[in-house]
Structure 1
């Protein structure tokens, strides 16, 4: 009994680059290598002329056997070199620098699946992506409007939203070009959706930090908000990498976490490094907030005066030190 063998060549991120179909007779073999006589030709200098043979046994078993090559057969699952790999259903492996997937065509394939009743036509995908973009721009307009303390200038608000939209489109196009280079497709709309949702989440986080820190009188929320922003930025980049390809998910996640940790560490050093003899102070409230938003009770007048009086000795000592320093410098 002959077997239908499907040989797929995969890209670096697991995307399909090429597919070949071959008929393998009973107790026959399929040669794989760089030689012209091989049924599966691989143009790779790290592949031997006759690197391996795919053999069909009398019992119907399918196995890939190394034919004495220098670099051998590397199992994609374990990363170990093997002299023989059994193909049960399908098997991924590496020959030289080529990544292959071998599929036994005798396996039953799944039946056709019905289309979802609410499936969105492809032309509506543009509206979905740009809908997220408009939502992100709307949230940006909202936070800019909340930051206005004087007369609202519509031209300034619209200019800021326009600049933000151009930046998001350019960012998406840059990722689309990288995806085209590595995956063979632009996937611009998917990248646009990722950056738009990321911008919307960043605006939401900004509002939560601003109003939450004021409502609960928690100054550290504002001081350490940059940690959340960098983690969100790393998550957005991770989603962009997933749009490019689904391969190596753990490595991508670890790389983005390392990037966020490095950025958080550098900004922490910058914030805590004293300037002119005093540590930098973060702005507590960046815009006007309604008093009704505050959840923590306000301090009464007597408590405020007591705290001010308690600060007087420290101020006197600081003034004395400044006067002594000035006199020393004059001498």
Structure 2
């Protein structure tokens, strides 16, 4: 008669199980076994940092276990908490502990299964993945080349436009490769193309949205539209890190989200302080690229109103002129 395993103990390699030991219950519904390097141990591990009999594990009928550490030099780690020989710790289902250099995960039959994760990429009818990637590359490269062309001098040679495009391509490729290496470390696969596609999608979205916001600010004479345009790169980078992290670290989403939110809040604080001496916060003081006048939808203002607004800037500009870039007052001797 086949018995149902009470639990599995996974030996982890990254976030993936390198090997698993099925543990079957005794008559009372629980199970006991020893862990160590000795061949007498039910879970025999080839780890030089373990004692011959390193720990004794008692798996209960309910979804938890108790680990008692036997005499050893290294004890065990539960998260950031180090336990020495003689200590006893509660090991919850799906929890991870480290003994020596070996990370172990407990999967209990009585514990509810986690929800199935959404697929990283779905199969759709239509364009092949290679053609989609080519179109993304052309779109991002074309928009980037257009932006470089707008900001360049009229007599700039065409070869000068190629350099920033190559630098952008190298930066995007390195970013995707680093995330693929992180995924290889934790998930044992190297999805470079998937990371590259997500990076290009975010970059394309940022480029298009930034152009639309800038154009809207000019057409409607609404400078406040430049506020989200200024914040857009930082917000997009934070979103991209979270999106890429769903591939590389699917079981550490809460930790990754907390780190990204903390970094984003820190960036906002420093960015706010860095713009202390600017005339307007979170946006450039003027539009660097002007569209054709025919696209203006906002009503024209008379010249007298423009001169009146310019006169109102005299005192604030004079006050700013008396301070250095750090905001300190400039003495007359200086």
TM-score, normalised by the number of residues in structure 1? 0.67
- Give the direction of change, closer, same or farther, for the CA distance of 1:39–1:126 in structure 2 (3 Å limit): farther
Give the number of the structure with larger relative contact order, counting CA–CA contacts within 8 Å between residues 6 or more apart: 1
Q: Give the secondary structure class of the aligned counterpart of 1:272.
A: coil
* Cα distance in 1 for residues equivalent to 2:51 and 2:290: 68
Q: Give the secondary structure class of the aligned counterpart of 2:9.
A: strand
Contact kept in structure 1, 2:23 and 2:31, CA below 8 Å: no
* Cα distance in 2 for residues equivalent to 1:231 and 1:54: 48
Greater mean alpha carbon deviation, residues 31-40 or residues 93-102: 93-102
Q: CA deviation at 1:300?
A: 2.6
**Structure showing greater Rg:** 1
Whose helix proportion is higher, 1 or 2?
A: 1
Q: How does 1:1-331 map to 2 (within 5 A)?
A: 2-4=3-5, 5-11=7-13, 15-22=15-22, 24=24, 26-27=26-27, 29=31, 31-36=33-38, 37-42=40-45, 43=47, 45=49, 49-53=53-57, 64-67=65-68, 69=70, 91-94=94-97, 96=99, 99-103=103-107, 119=123, 124-147=128-151, 150=154, 154-222=158-226, 225-273=229-277, 282-307=284-309, 311=312
Contact kept in structure 2, 1:226 and 1:264, CA below 8 Å: no
- Give the direction of change, closer, same or farther, for the CA distance of 1:39–1:297 in structure 2 (3 Å limit): same
Contact kept in structure 1, 2:184 and 2:190, CA below 8 Å: yes
Q: CA RMSD in A?
A: 4.6
Aligned length: 294
Structure 2 gap segments, 5+ residues each: 80-86, 114-121, 323-331
Contact kept in structure 2, 1:33 and 1:47, CA below 8 Å: no
Structure 1 gap segments, 5+ residues each: 76-80, 110-117, 322-327
TM-score, normalised by the number of residues in structure 2? 0.66
Contact kept in structure 1, 2:58 and 2:67, CA below 8 Å: no
